[in-house]
Amino acid sequence: MPATPIRAGRLRLGYRWTRFFLWSLSKGHPSGMSSALKSLALLGILAVRDLFTRNGGVECNICGWKGAQFYPNAGSGYFELNTNCPRCLCIHRYRSLAAILDAATDCFSPENAVIEVAPVRSFQAYCLWRKQNKNYLSFDLEKFGMEKGDITAMHYAAESCDYFLCFHVLEHVPDDSAAIREIFRVLRPGGQAVLQVPVDYSLDETVEYGRPNPLETGHVRRYSQAGFLGRLTAQGFDVCAPSVGDYFSEDEINHYGFNVEKIYIATKPMPGHRQAPSKD
């Protein structure tokens, strides 16, 4: 993947956290202001540290950056250390997604049609590079999609893609059942949706907020594991939920800064196939 200058990545991180600080200040959120200031301070510290580090202890499997450690990730309702790649800005869950797609699917084959909703700019560039600019399409209501579109009413033909990537999107969609129906519709039989949402494993049932929660980056619900699995299997998907821990050693997970949260792979059954029990 063509490398973005590291200086540009750091500048984007600084701009992002400065905006988050000003937003938190305007809303009177001290925790957000604190997270932004910590991130800006660490940005400077880690940038200096990287000057004296050659082929450090961590590596981004998406852009190839190497350094002493990954940079923080801060936003409304979260503050995470050792998360951001300072060059491509992919965070740990996208490094894990790339690794799982390589280990468990043939998504990156140029022959397979892939649709992604609400892409992250750098991961979209990685997908296009891996797929030789073939059979990859993305959409979103805003930001970085190649097209504008609504996941609850997609204009794509039925059974038109082999893979559908949907990462940290459904928790923002008021009618997630409609979105899941649409994902099922556009997948070919045997096709797979690769999904992740924030899951609260302490919950027995999914909690619906009724409106976007500004302190959770606009989430409209908090999923329980059973609740999320149930919504996928109710549509007819066969579901498994691998983690990078199923494919990579602890040393590899630490080296690449992977997120060990489960990634849900929902397969559209072939005609006449009897749905298997979900695996978690």
Beta bridge partners of 73: 80
Residue with tokens 């996928």: 232
Give me the pLDDT at residue 3, please: 66
Percent of the chain with pLDDT over 70: 95
Contact 268, 187 (CB under 8 A): yes
Measured at the CA of 270, the angle between CA 170 and CA 247, to 5 degrees, comes to: 60
Burial of 177 (0-12, 13-18, 19+ CB in 10 A): middle
Confidence of residue 15 (pLDDT cuts 50, 70, 90): very high
- Per residue in 35-84, pLDDT tens? 999 999 999 999 998 888 766 789 999 999 999 899 999 998 899 999 99
Q: Whole-model pTM above 0.85? A: yes
Residue 75 neighbours by CB distance under 10 Å: 18
Name the pairing type of β-strands 187-196 and 136-140: unpaired
Residue 188, C-beta contacts closer than 8 angstroms, at least 6 positions apart: 159, 160, 161, 162, 268
Give me the pLDDT at residue 195, please: 98
3-state secondary structure of 1: coil
Count of all residues that appear for the chain in the document: 280
- Per residue in 239-277, pLDDT tens? 999 999 999 999 999 999 999 999 999 999 998 765 544
Phi, psi angle pair for 31, to nearest 5°: -65, -40
What span, in angstroms and rounded, lies between the C-alpha atoms of 180 and 178?
5
- One-letter amino acid at 96 equals S
Position with higher pLDDT, 3 vs 51: 51
Least confident of 124-133, 137-146, 172-181: 137-146
Name the pairing type of β-strands 264-267 and 238-240: antiparallel
Q: What is the mean pLDDT of residues 170-183?
A: 98
The architecture in CATH of the region 92-267 reads 3-Layer(aba) Sandwich (3.40)
What span, in angstroms and rounded, lies between the C-alpha atoms of 90 and 123?
7
What span, in angstroms and rounded, lies between the C-alpha atoms of 162 and 147?
19
Contact 223, 278 (CB under 8 A): no
Give me the pLDDT at residue 54, please: 66
Position with higher pLDDT, 48 vs 170: 170
- Per residue in 77-123, pLDDT tens? 899 999 999 999 999 999 999 999 999 999 999 999 999 999 999 99
Confidence of residue 142 (pLDDT cuts 50, 70, 90): confident
The torsion of the CA quartet 33, 36, 41, 42, rounded to 10 degrees, works out to 140
- Per residue in 204-231, pLDDT tens? 999 999 999 988 889 999 999 999 999 9
Whether pLDDT at 150 is above 90: yes
Domain residue spans of the chain: 6-84, 92-267
Residue with tokens 């969609």: 173
